[in-house]
Each structure stands twice: as structure tokens, then as C-alpha cells.
Structure 1
């Protein structure tokens, strides 16, 4: 299992890193479009859209991304996705409605198109600013995840959401937040690799508010993770798919990014 996980990670890095670091923004956009295609397919599968329905939905999601290029600004997409995560995200985690049937399924399928379009635009816009900027945005989720893993292993005692994801703890969540604060604080103090998301937030909002915004983004990375965990639990599956051997599916890797990306770009104005 570990060998498979490592091989898959190396293959993904061999594809993602050169495109992110060296390819033109247009090619980066194509790569993210492929990610959207598979993520949308998994989203529909988890919402019990069926085999054919999931394929059709994935195609519609890609067409929606292409059509969204006609928008003068992606800001309305960020707003719509942000509202979803600010209101529907916490509501779903607290009330736990059945997501894969009835009105909730229709709502989430429609919302998913907006979410995926917003995330595509957020990543491409961040890459347009620069490699360091897009990596600093992704680093929020990566650090929160890594910090949560190690802090949870070392100190985890109090379950964060036992009925949704039994392995997550409050101590882990705090550890993830500490990791993000430490790295972003160091980057700001050293003016490293600017412009980054951290420097942009500090310039626009001031240091205190920038750190508060980063705290909010860490919180919503947890909400995104838990949201997908609940969707999988209701669908009766461990992973969103088997597309990434040893890692599960695409959504399993980007679930925490789904709320963070549009919210970060929205808060930057």
C-alpha cells in the first residue's frame, strides 16, 4: 500500500510540478481543467447520479468552465461559491441532511458547477500572479493537513466530528492552524518569495487581519474536508474513487481546497 501510494505521488508530482513551475498559464489552465473533469465525475458519483449521469455531469462541468471564460470577472463565481461554503457547508455538517437524494442532490449538483468553475478561475488567476503566489495558496491546505496529522497523532484526544470523520481531533485542527501561522508568519517576516498570498493579504488588510483571514481559511479547509467525508459516508464508500491508487480519488486530494480557493480570492478583492 505504501509503495503504491509513493509511486502515485511521484507520478502526480512529475506531471503537476513542471506544468505549474514552467508551463504557460494556458497549459496550467488545461491541467486544472482535467482535474475539474475527474473531480466533477466523482462529485456526481457520490451524489448517486449513476454511471452515465456522472459522465454527463463531468462533461457539463468542463463546458461550464469553458463558458465561464466569457465572464468579465470571476468575482461573482467567487461570491457564489463563498456563500455556499459559508452557509451550506456548516449547515450540512450540523444538520446532516441526506445529500444524495431529492432536493439536496439537485442543489449540490447545481452548486458543484459553480464551485468547480470558481476553483478553476481561482487557481488560474493565482498562477497568473506567479508561481510563488499559487503555491502559497495551496500551501495553506497542505500545511493544515500535515500539521493536523502530526498533532493529531501526538496529542489527539478530543474528537472533532466523530460521526463524520472519527480520526479527526480538535488537537489536530489546532496543530494544522499552528503550522499555517508559523510558515506564513515566517514568510511575511522574511519577505520570502513575494508576492505570495500572505504578502498580498498583509498589504491589503494589515498583518493582524491577514492572520485572521488565514485562520478563517484554515477553518474552511477543515469544513471542506469534513463535507466530503460526510458525502462519502452517506454514499457508503471509503474513497471518492480509485483514480489515484493509494490515495483514493481526486476529490480526496482537493476537498479542503474547494472552499479555500474561492474564499481566498474573494477576500483579496
Structure 2
């Protein structure tokens, strides 16, 4: 398992960084669309959609993405506001109530609310190669939060964060991850890698909000898997599970970050 994880990481990391820093705009949009569609395919399988429903769902979503990119569409402010409401208000309630999806209109609409803003965020936050560093800085926040939450939780975790959803997560781990994100955001702010002007305190506060969102994204995907009775969203990435497994927190954080930029940036 460890060997598979390492080999897969050694393939995916250069591919991701290469696309991020050197792909032109349309190739980056296509690459981002592939990531979003693969995650949506895995989501559809876990949310009760049949194979036929899922195929039509993916085809319609892909067609929308092509038309949207060709037409230079941008999501309206009301959609970005809905993204914020979803992740900051509805998602905590969802996790608390442990709602399930059964392949109906709620499954379709939730999938689009997850993946469409995620794709628009990837494309909009990286319009050219020069913006790659700022986008990578936001992605780095997710990885810092996840890595340090894991090690802090292993060392000090005693109080479970959401035992019915993800038994391995603890409050101590989440706090440790948040502290490390605060330090990370100060370093990013000092390096000038943020795509907006703010004080160091503002950078820290934004980082803490995004850390909470990151945890919610991870817990949502964990709950979808638990409700569907599966361990991984798929087996596309040997040793790592599926694309949704690897992007759950990124989907949440980049969507909320792009929404904040669109509404207040």
C-alpha cells in the first residue's frame, strides 16, 4: 500500500504542478474539468445515482463546462452567495443531522453545487501562469491543515471531532492544524503570494475560516462514503482511493475562497 501511494504521488505531483505553472489557459481549464468530472462521477456513485443516470449527469455537466468556457461565462454573484451559504451554514447542519442522498433532484443539485463552483474556482483563480503561485498558496493551506492535523491528532488527540463520521479526527488535531495554518498564512502574506490586499491579521482570519471549511469538506465526503457503505470514492488512484478522496477539502476551500473573492475581493 505504501509503495503504491508513493508511486502514485510521484506521478500525480509533477503532473499537477506542471499543469498549474506551464499549461495555457484552455489546457488548464480542460485539466481542471477532468478533475471535477472524475470527482463528480465518484460522487454520483455514492449519492444513489444509477449508472445510466450518472452517465447522463456527467455528459450534461461536461457540455455545460464546454459551453461556459467557450462563451467566457462567469458565475453570477447569487450563485457564489449560495456557495457560501451552503458551506458555511447548510453543511454544518447536514453533518449534524446526517442527511443522506437517494439519487433524486437533491443528489443532482448538490453535486453541481460541489463541482461546478470548484471548476470555476480553478479556472478563475488561475487565468494565466502568473496567477499559479497564488492558487498554489491556497491549495497549500489545505495540505498544511491536513498534515499537521494528522500528526497533532496522533500525538495529542483525545476528544473525537465527529466519531460517527470520521473516528480518526480529533479536536486536538483540528486545533493543531488551525494553528499551523495561521503561521502558514503569515508566511504566505509576507511573501506576497495572496491574490488580495489585507493585513497579516486578515490573512490569519481568512486562513482560519478556510481551515474550518476544509474540515467540513473532508467530513462531508467521509459521510457520503459511510452512507454509501464504501471505503473509498473509487480506485482510480492506486493507494489513494479516488479523485474525490484527494480533493474533498480542496473542493470546499477553493469554492469558498473564490466566492469570497467574487463577492468581496
- In the superposition, the TM-score normalised over structure 1's length comes to 0.90
How many residue pairs get aligned? The number is 258
Q: Which 10-residue stretch deviates more, 168-177 or 76-85? A: 76-85
1:255 alignment partner, SS class: helix
Given that 1:141 and 1:257 are in contact with CA atoms closer than 8 Å, whether structure 2 keeps it comes out as yes
Given that 1:147 and 1:178 are in contact with CA atoms closer than 8 Å, whether structure 2 keeps it comes out as no
Unaligned runs of 5+ in 2: none
1:40-189 equivalence runs, <5 A: 40-69=40-69, 70=71, 72-76=73-77, 77-100=79-102, 105-128=104-127, 130-188=131-189
Please give the alpha-carbon distance, in whole angstroms, between the structure 1 residues aligned to 2:255 and 2:81.
8
Q: Is residue 238 of structure 1 aligned with residue 239 of structure 2? A: no
Given that 2:137 and 2:193 are in contact with CA atoms closer than 8 Å, whether structure 1 keeps it comes out as no
Flag as ranges the 4+ runs of structure 1 deviating above 4 A.
none
Please give the alpha-carbon distance, in whole angstroms, between the structure 2 residues aligned to 1:235 and 1:162.
17
Q: Which 10-residue stretch deviates more, 250-259 or 8-17? A: 8-17
- 1:178-208: per-residue Cα shift (whole Å, max 9, x none)? 12111111232xx32x3424xx2xx25x332
1:222-237 equivalence runs, <5 A: 222-237=215-230
Given that 1:19 and 1:28 are in contact with CA atoms closer than 8 Å, whether structure 2 keeps it comes out as yes
2:235 alignment partner, SS class: coil
Match of 2:27 in 1: 27
Q: For residue 80 of structure 1, report the CA deviation from its aligned partner.
A: 2.4
Given that 2:153 and 2:172 are in contact with CA atoms closer than 8 Å, whether structure 1 keeps it comes out as yes
Q: Is residue 196 of structure 1 aligned with residue 198 of structure 2? A: no
Please give the alpha-carbon distance, in whole angstroms, between the structure 1 residues aligned to 2:110 and 2:227.
18
1:168 alignment partner, SS class: strand
Match of 2:214 in 1: 221
Given that 2:149 and 2:173 are in contact with CA atoms closer than 8 Å, whether structure 1 keeps it comes out as yes
Given that 1:240 and 1:249 are in contact with CA atoms closer than 8 Å, whether structure 2 keeps it comes out as yes
Which of 231, 253, 256 aligns to 1:260? It is: 253
